[in-house]
């Protein structure tokens, strides 16, 4: 009985994705059944469109820029959180977490007003700033819970053995929290690629991928939209898969090194 | 230079909270010195000040003749075995132990030699390539010891190293630590709240209470000659009896207790007045009362309860008309009967073993 429920649930979850993917390969411009045949024409149209390529590049730039900023700021926050105690820590942790609950609408409007106040014209830069603010609480929250288990005596032990605070961070803290940071960074990339609401408010004339898909829907409903959506899906999955592969390959390489130096 | 560490006027306060009052302490070269006390007594704070993880509010820390008060931990010739070992999980046993030597940029073959020697010292020769997560508690602790000792520190600090271990392993590790101390002739400063560990291991014990030193001495001295009530009650079991101290003449004193007067001359020049007398249970003689008359110097008591522990029997005896309970420890002989509650007994005290503490 439970198994049946699980199948129905999976169907409900994946059916829309399956149908969208199917119709992205449709040989005709129709988005409804009957299915007439396979064709890659919509993908070809997409990649030959300079608008699409520009939007893709912009999304990549914004994702990269905001992730770097979020990772830097987020790592420092996490390190600070590790050293805080009691009430100060709870307050700080809550303040880090609260923006997640904030409607994107508010952040978008607030940023627009802020940028015009300080005279910063809306552009990809403002989008990067917006995305950094947006992904930051997610980054810190995802790192914080794993860091609860980080014992500060690791750093003390390193210093006791002769490491300066910087060396202790580099040789001990960073390798231990590295995987957690990396995972949170990947989350930030995925969130940024997908971000739409704040971007709509703070962008100037530059388009990112989600924005472009929306405008495509406004203009003409055709399987090009499907192709663009499937493309985004594939990119997001690819990021996660590549990250996973890198981790596994790294671990395997380390194990080989161990085996070689062992006697 | 006979002193490894000299602490003068050390105190530590956090805001309004005083963790350590003014403390003066010298640690002799090559001794095992234990900082002992209940939680909150300041022993951990004192140890961290020696290691350099806390800066004292006042006072000076001199290590091996050099003023180290403002030196960061990485520059002090001190190494620490942490309570939870703090072994680096991303490195194997060899790399953990080699960590300090690598920071000092020692040549590779020297590192290999020293690490191997250190692992042999703690009897973990085959464990070089194990991951930290694969070690048992006792093994992890030995790796932590090796990691600290391989750097040949002037002082080794051990922060309650046996706290996380099973009881059975604890005794074994205590002996291991003693052996390692003899083989390396390094000064050990050991921190614990367990009096048994302190007694078994130490050359000298520093008893701390509420941020101050109660008493310093060897295990025997701490047990038989405590100078404060806290010290008397801390080690083993004892009876504390309220009484009065008086002087018969300039060189002879006596103690008035509810169950008799005893000749006892207090060691430090104590004046007459109310006192607390510590009487160890094993110094009280106990015999079944045969008839109404008691032997000379004996006083009457009634057994309230009996605890047969195996190698000893502990009687709780009501004396002085039932106003005081005295714990008496007897060695049972095989086949002898232990006295049942309600039995009348005759007790004798050895006044030489009294410890008289001003009340």
Domains in chain A, start-ordered, CATH in brackets?
52-262 (1.10.3720.10)
pLDDT at A261: 57
Yes or no: say if B345 and B301 are a contact pair by the CB < 8 Å rule. yes
B 44-103 near A (Cβ less than 8 A)? 51, 53, 72-74, 78-80, 82-84, 86-90, 92, 99-100, 103
**Whether residue B43 has pLDDT greater than 90:** yes
HEC assignment per residue over B46-60: HHHHHHCCCCCCEEE
Yes or no: say if B353 and B225 are a contact pair by the CB < 8 Å rule. no
Low-confidence residues of chain A: pLDDT under 70: 250-251, 254-255, 257-263
Residue A128 sits at the chain B interface (C-beta within 8 Å) = no
SS3 A16: helix
Residue A85 sits at the chain B interface (C-beta within 8 Å) = no
- From the list B86, B147, B148, the residue facing A154 with the nearest CB is B86
Please give the residue of chain B at the shortest CA–CA distance from A258. B129
Contact criterion met (CB < 8 Å) for B88 and A258: no
Contact criterion met (CB < 8 Å) for A160 and B104: no
- Percent of chain B past pLDDT 70, that is, above it, reads 100
Contact criterion met (CB < 8 Å) for B99 and A158: yes
Distances (CA, A) of B208 to B114, B167, B187: 37, 24, 20
* Minimum distance, in Å, between the CA of residue B200 and any CA atom of chain A: 27
Record the pTM: 0.80
User: Which residues in chain A have Cβ-Cβ distances shorter than 8 Å to B88?
Assistant: 154, 157-158, 172, 176
User: In what order do the strands lie in the sheet containing B344-348?
Assistant: B285-288, B344-348, B299-308, B313-319, B324-330
pLDDT at A259: 64
- From the list B53, B90, B151, the residue facing A161 with the nearest CB is B151
Residue A252 sits at the chain B interface (C-beta within 8 Å) = no
Query: Looking at residues B214-220, what average pLDDT do you find?
Result: 94
* Minimum distance, in Å, between the CA of residue A189 and any CA atom of chain B: 26
* Minimum distance, in Å, between the CA of residue A152 and any CA atom of chain B: 9
User: In what order do the strands lie in the sheet containing B260-263?
Assistant: B260-263, B252-257, B239-249, B273-279, B355-358
Distance between CA atoms of residues B359 and B352, nearest Å: 19
Contacts by A256-259 with C-beta closer than 8 Å and gap 24+? A258/B92, A258/B129
- From the list A164, A172, A263, the residue facing B74 with the nearest CB is A164
Contact criterion met (CB < 8 Å) for B151 and A258: no
Lowest mean pLDDT among A16-25, A70-79, B203-212, B309-318: A16-25
Contact criterion met (CB < 8 Å) for A159 and B73: yes
**Whether residue B204 has pLDDT greater than 70:** yes
- From the list B89, B99, B128, the residue facing A161 with the nearest CB is B99
Contact criterion met (CB < 8 Å) for B84 and A172: no
Contact criterion met (CB < 8 Å) for B74 and A162: yes
Question: Omega into A34 within 30° of 0, i.e. cis?
Answer: yes
User: Which residues in chain B have Cβ-Cβ distances shorter than 8 Å to A164?
Assistant: 72, 74
* Minimum distance, in Å, between the CA of residue B15 and any CA atom of chain A: 15
Yes or no: say if B299 and B323 are a contact pair by the CB < 8 Å rule. no
Contact criterion met (CB < 8 Å) for A153 and B82: yes
Contact criterion met (CB < 8 Å) for A175 and B128: no
pLDDT at B268: 74
- From the list A160, A162, A258, the residue facing B104 with the nearest CB is A162
Contact criterion met (CB < 8 Å) for B90 and A176: yes
pLDDT in tens, A174-205: 888 888 888 889 889 988 988 888 898 888 88
Query: Looking at residues B49-54, what average pLDDT do you find?
Result: 94
Where does the pLDDT of residue B35 fall: very low under 50, low under 70, confident under 90, or very high at 90 and above? very high
Nearest to A223 by CA among A42, A16, A5: A42
Residue A153 sits at the chain B interface (C-beta within 8 Å) = yes
pLDDT at A263: 43
Pair of tokens at residue B298: 């004996």
- Percent of chain B past pLDDT 90, that is, above it, reads 56
SS3 B227: coil
Lowest mean pLDDT among A105-114, A169-178, B284-293, B317-326: B284-293
- From the list B74, B90, B129, the residue facing A258 with the nearest CB is B129
Q: What is the ipTM of this complex?
A: 0.82
pLDDT at A16: 87
Which contiguous run of DSSP H or E holds residue B82?
A: none
Q: Mean pLDDT in chain B?
A: 90
Region of B322 on the Ramachandran plot (φ > 0 left; ψ -120 to 50 alpha; else beta): left
Query: Looking at residues B266-275, what average pLDDT do you find?
Result: 82
Contact criterion met (CB < 8 Å) for B103 and A159: no
Question: From the candidates A147, A161, A251, which should be mutated to test the interface with B, based on the most B CB atoms within 10 A?
Answer: A161
**Whether residue B250 has pLDDT greater than 90:** no
Residue A147 sits at the chain B interface (C-beta within 8 Å) = no
Contact criterion met (CB < 8 Å) for B80 and A176: no
Nearest to A81 by CA among A68, A69, A70, A96: A96
Residue A262 sits at the chain B interface (C-beta within 8 Å) = yes
pLDDT in tens, B128-137: 999 998 899 8
SS3 B163: coil
* Minimum distance, in Å, between the CA of residue A256 and any CA atom of chain B: 12
Contact criterion met (CB < 8 Å) for B73 and A175: no
Yes or no: say if B53 and B73 are a contact pair by the CB < 8 Å rule. yes
Yes or no: say if B51 and B78 are a contact pair by the CB < 8 Å rule. yes
Contact criterion met (CB < 8 Å) for A160 and B72: no
pLDDT in tens, A33-56: 777 778 888 888 888 888 888 888
């Amino acid at each position: 009985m439970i198994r049946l429920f699980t199948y129905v649930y999976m169907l409900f979850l994946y059916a829309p994705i399956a149908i969208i993917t199917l119709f992205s390969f449709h040989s005709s411009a129709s988005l409804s059944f009957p299915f007439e045949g396979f064709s890659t024409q919509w993908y070809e149209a997409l990649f030959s469109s300079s608008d699409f390529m520009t939007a893709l590049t912009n999304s990549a730039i914004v994702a990269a820029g905001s992730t770097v900023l979020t990772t830097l700021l987020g790592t420092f926050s996490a390190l600070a959180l590790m050293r805080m105690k009691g009430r100060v820590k709870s307050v700080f942790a809550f303040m880090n977490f609260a923006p997640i609950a904030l409607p994107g609408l508010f952040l978008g409007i607030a940023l627009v007003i802020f940028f015009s106040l300080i005279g910063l014209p809306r552009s990809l830069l403002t989008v990067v700033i917006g995305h950094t603010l947006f992904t930051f609480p997610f980054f810190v929250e995802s790192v914080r819970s794993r860091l609860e288990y980080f014992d500060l005596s690791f750093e003390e032990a390193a210093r006791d053995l002769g490491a300066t605070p910087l060396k202790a961070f580099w040789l001990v803290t960073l390798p231990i929290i590295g995987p957690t940071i990396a995972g949170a960074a990947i989350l930030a990339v995925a969130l940024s690629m997908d971000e739409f609401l704040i971007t709509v408010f703070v962008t100037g004339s530059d388009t990112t991928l989600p924005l472009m898909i929306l405008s495509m829907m406004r203009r003409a409903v055709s399987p090009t939209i499907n192709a663009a959506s499937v493309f985004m899906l594939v990119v997001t999955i690819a990021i996660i898969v590549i990250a996973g592969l890198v981790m596994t390959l790294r671990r395997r390489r380390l194990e080989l090194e161990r085996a070689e130096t062992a006697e | 230079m006979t002193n490894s560490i000299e602490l003068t006027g050390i105190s530590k306060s956090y805001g309004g909270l005083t963790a350590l009052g003014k403390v003066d302490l010298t640690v002799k070269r090559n001794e095992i010195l234990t900082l002992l006390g209940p939680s909150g007594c300041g022993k951990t704070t004192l140890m961290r000040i020696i290691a350099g993880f806390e800066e004292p509010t006042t006072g000076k820390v001199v290590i091996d003749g050099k003023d180290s008060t403002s030196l960061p931990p990485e520059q002090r010739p001190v190494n620490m075995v942490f309570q939870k070992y703090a072994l680096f999980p991303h490195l194997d046993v060899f790399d953990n132990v080699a960590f300090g030597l690598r920071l000092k940029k020692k040549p590779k073959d020297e590192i290999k030699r020293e690490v191997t020697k250190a692992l042999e010292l703690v009897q973990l020769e085959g464990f070089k390539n194990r991951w930290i997560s694969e070690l048992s508690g006792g093994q992890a602790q030995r790796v932590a010891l090796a990691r600290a000792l391989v750097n040949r520190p002037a002082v080794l600090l051990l922060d309650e190293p046996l706290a996380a271990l099973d009881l059975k392993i604890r005794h074994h590790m205590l002996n291991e630590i003693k052996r390692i101390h003899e083989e390396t002739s390094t000064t050990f400063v050991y921190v614990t709240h367990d009096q048994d560990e302190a007694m078994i291991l130490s050359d000298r014990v520093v008893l701390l209470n509420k941020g101050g030193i109660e008493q310093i001495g060897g295990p025997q001295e701490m047990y038989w000659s405590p100078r404060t009530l806290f010290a008397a009650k801390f080690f083993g079991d004892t009876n504390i009896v309220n009484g009065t101290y008086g002087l018969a003449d300039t060189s002879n004193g006596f103690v008035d207790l509810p169950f008799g007067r005893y000749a006892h001359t207090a060691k430090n020049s104590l004046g007459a007045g109310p006192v607390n007398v510590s009487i160890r249970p094993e110094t009280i003689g106990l015999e079944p009362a045969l008839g109404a008359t008691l032997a000379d110097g004996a006083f009457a008591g009634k057994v309230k309860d009996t605890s047969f522990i195996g190698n000893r029997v502990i009687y709780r005896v009501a004396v002085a008309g039932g106003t005081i309970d005295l714990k008496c420890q007897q060695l049972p002989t095989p086949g002898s009967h232990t006295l049942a509650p309600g039995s009348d007994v005759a007790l004798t005290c050895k006044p030489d073993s009294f410890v008289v503490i001003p009340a």
